[in-house]
Every structure is written in C-alpha cells, then in structure tokens.
C-alpha cells in the first residue's frame, strides 16, 4: 500500500485557488476512482472534484470554507498503483463538462473532465432571500426537509454549507466556521475567495488601469411605457431591460468605437464586430455578468427571452463559465431593485463602455412650453478615455436617448 497525495488541479479557468465548499468523504473511508471527493467554488462556478485514486482516505488537508491554492495538497489516499483516468459518473445534480485535470494529460480527453453542478434553485418559500446558501445547498435542504432559516452557517460570511445541512438532517453538531473569525474587540474577518475575490480583482483592475469618465442624461420614457403596454395587451409582457438593450445596440452600431477595447501590449484599439452585451446581475454570491451574444442580431422578443434566461441562470448558478465571458459592452439596470436615480458604473475590463439605467418614474418635463409629469429615467455611461473623448461619448449618449424616446412596437 502506498500513500498518494492528490493536489488541487487546474480546472481550466486560469484558476489560482478555490474555496473548499464541502467534503463528500471523511478520513478512514474507502473511495473508488472517479468517486466525488469534494465541492470547490471557483470564480465562476461550484465544481465537483472526483478522485483519481482508489483507496482509503488518510488525510483531508483543508477544511470547508478555506482557500486552497492550485497545486496544494487536497487529500491523501492510501492505495495501490498510479493514478487512473477520471471516468465521468452520474452524480447528484451534476453534468459532465469537457476539460482536463492537471496530471492526467491532454490525451485523457473529455472523459477526464470534472463535472459542474447543474444547480437548481428551489422555490422561494423554501428559504428566504436573507438566507446565504448556494443553490445546490438549498436543493439539498429541500430534499432532506431542512429549514435553512433555522440554521447558522459555518461558511464564509455565515453562508450555509452542505455540511451544515447534513449535520442538521442527522442531528449532529454543525462544523465550526473556518473562513470567518471574530476578535475580542468585535471585529470580524472574512476570507475572500471564489466569486467575491474575482469581483474584487476585476474592479481593482478597472479603476487602476482604465482612465474612465462618466456622463449623464435623462430620457422621456413615454414612448417606451406606451410600447410596453401595447405589447402587454398582445400577450408579450416584458421588463424595460430588453428595450434598453435593443436601443443600446442601435446606438453602438452608429458609434462602433463604444464596442471596442484597448490592447495594452500593442497600444492598439480593437473594434469588435459582434455586439455581445454583458448584463450585470445581482446574485446571492455577488455581481455576475452573463453575456447576451450577438444582441444586435436579435429582435426584441428574443432579446427578452434570452436575457431572462441568462438572469435566471446567473441567480440559480446554472450558467456555464462560457456564458459569462466575451462581453463587449455592459448594461446595468440600477433602478430595477429600488428607487435608484443613477450612479457612476465601473467599466468591466477589457471593455470600453458600461451603461447604467435608473428607475423609471414620473418626472417634471417641459412639453410644448408647459411643465408636465412624464415617466423618465436617468442614464449614465462610463467610458475608457483612452478610446473615447467627451464629444464622442456625448454623441453616443444622445443617440441612445433618441432611440429610447422614439420606440414603437
């Protein structure tokens, strides 16, 4: 018998570290090749790590909630022989995704791939919005009849983990939090990993490498609201977001420099042909930006259907990593969740522009020399000043306003 230590592999996403969400095995247990070992959270998804060895678990090298660097020991297994290729197995809520674990070689092909959890969000009444738990944890709680609102999470920032749910279901004691510590003076420190760490790095990159400025405007939403009512009457009800996206793609077609990026290595501007709109979505795990590809080639109804699916998938955690990359310009509807007038959005590198829409509500406007109440909203755009000057930004914003004010079904 020989001890073999399995190290956290590169999951093919430029990963440098991941957060251990939960173990599926325990020390002293027997594990077969390709049997799930643990769940880890990367910057984009929760991933199930399978075992490359068969044998007995000798040591688990990390605790749930801890950050594990790629190449660091994950688990030590006592068994016979060398590592075997990982064969995909059907597992609870998991689907295969092509990829290669480091150490198995590219020849292993898709069957060496790890599997991403197809996380399904349970009905809202199963757990309130104030409960911090990943969708797959909510699903597990639903299956085991555990009320998440009654649990105290042991994960980062009080997040409820798989181990918390299983402990509650079995009547055992929940694990001790590993990623958050409280000092004697009342300060609480939270380990920042996974999606939150990726957001932090992206924002630092944005403000430290992109000289950006913001411009503002108010548009008259009378035509937009009238068009919505007509389409609602015809059985096609939709939020303002699809109208924003369609108007934005038309403005980008008129001013293509807004759909570009700066190549720092060659000091060149890259103007993108496809308009892939990133949609900023607030989720329980942080801000995610799924991408609506070829938005300028879609009609309004298709934009509405595809954007709704992306938003729902982002919140449920069911999107593939490829659905959250490749954006060329981003839209954020800051007025969707409250009476927010406007803001100064931060560009998502390497894009050139981000557009924010505020809440649509009655506003005093001058029409034919008289002040009347009309629905309206603020728009703000932040742009990369290396690519776009103030005059071009103003022209783009004016075009966007014109498109929104002349909508028709």
Tokens 């599926």 label which residue? 24
CB 326 within 8 A of CB 350: no
Eight-state DSSP code of residue 91: B
Closest CA to 334 of 372, 299, 379: 379
Beta carbons of 79 and 1 less than 8 angstroms apart: yes
Cβ atoms within 10 A of the Cβ of 220, count? 17
Catalytically annotated residue among 142, 320, 363, 385: 385
CA distance 259 to 328: 6
Those residues whose C-beta lies under 8 Å from the C-beta of residue 146, and which sit 6 or more positions away, are: 140, 165, 168, 169
Tell me if residue 385 is catalytic: yes
Our measurement of the distance from residue 356's CA atom to the centroid of its chain's CA atoms, rounded to an integer in Å, reads 18
Pairing of strands 36-41, 180-182: unpaired
CB atoms within 10 A of CB 85: 15
* 105: CB partners within 8 A, 6+ apart: none
Q: Rounded to an integer, what distance in angstroms lies between the CA atom of residue 6 and that of residue 71?
A: 9
Residue 188 near residue 33 (C-beta atoms within 8 A) = no
> What are the structure tokens assigned to 273, written together?
């042909």
On whether the CB atoms of residues 111 and 19 are closer than 8 A, the answer is no
Angle between helices 241-254 and 222-233 (to 10 degrees): 130
Instruction: State both tokens at 63.
Output: 């605790």
Q: Which two tokens stand for residue 155?
A: 């994960």
Active-site positions read 385
């Amino acid at each position: 018998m020989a001890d073999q230590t399995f190290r956290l592999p590169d999951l093919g996403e430029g990963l440098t570290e991941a957060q251990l969400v939960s173990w599926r095995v325990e020390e002293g247990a027997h594990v077969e090749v390709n049997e799930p070992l643990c769940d880890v959270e990367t910057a984009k998804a929760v991933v199930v790590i399978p075992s490359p060895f068969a044998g007995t678990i000798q040591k688990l090298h990390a605790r749930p909630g801890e950050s594990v660097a790629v190449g660091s020991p994950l688990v030590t297994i006592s068994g016979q022989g060398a590592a075997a290729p990982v064969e995909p197995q059907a597992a609870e809520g998991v689907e295969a995704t092509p990829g290669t674990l480091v150490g198995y070689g590219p020849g292993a092909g898709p069957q060496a791939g790890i599997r991403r959890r197809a996380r399904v969000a349970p009905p809202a009444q199963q757990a309130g919005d104030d409960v911090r738990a990943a969708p797959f944890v909510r699903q597990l709680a639903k299956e085991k009849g555990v009320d998440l609102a009654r649990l105290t999470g042991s994960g980062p920032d009080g997040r409820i983990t798989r181990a918390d749910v299983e402990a509650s279901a079995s009547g055992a004691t929940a694990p001790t939090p590993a990623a958050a510590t409280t000092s004697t003076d009342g300060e609480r420190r939270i380990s920042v990993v996974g999606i939150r760490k990726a957001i932090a790095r992206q924002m630092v990159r944005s403000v430290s490498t992109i000289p950006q400025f913001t411009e503002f405007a108010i548009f008259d939403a009378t035509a937009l609201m009238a068009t919505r009512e007509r389409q609602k009457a015809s059985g096609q009800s939709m939020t303002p977001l699809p109208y924003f996206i369609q108007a934005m793609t038309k403005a980008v077609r008129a001013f293509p420099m807004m759909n570009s990026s700066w190549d720092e290595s060659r000091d060149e501007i890259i103007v993108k042909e496809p308009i892939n709109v990133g949609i900023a979505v607030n989720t329980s795990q942080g801000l995610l930006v799924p991408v609506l590809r070829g938005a300028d080639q879609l009609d309004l109804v298709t934009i509405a259907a595809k954007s709704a699916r992306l938003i729902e998938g982002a919140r449920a955690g069911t999107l593939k990593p490829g659905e959250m990359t490749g954006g060329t310009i981003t839209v954020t509807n800051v007025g969707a969740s409250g009476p927010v007038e406007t803001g100064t959005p931060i560009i998502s590198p390497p894009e050139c522009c981000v557009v924010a829409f505020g809440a649509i509500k009655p506003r005093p406007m001058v029409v034919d020399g008289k002040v009347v109440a009309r629905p309206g909203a603020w728009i703000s755009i932040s742009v990369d000043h290396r690519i776009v000057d103030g005059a071009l930004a103003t022209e783009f914003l004016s075009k966007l306003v014109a498109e929104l004010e002349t909508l028709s079904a």
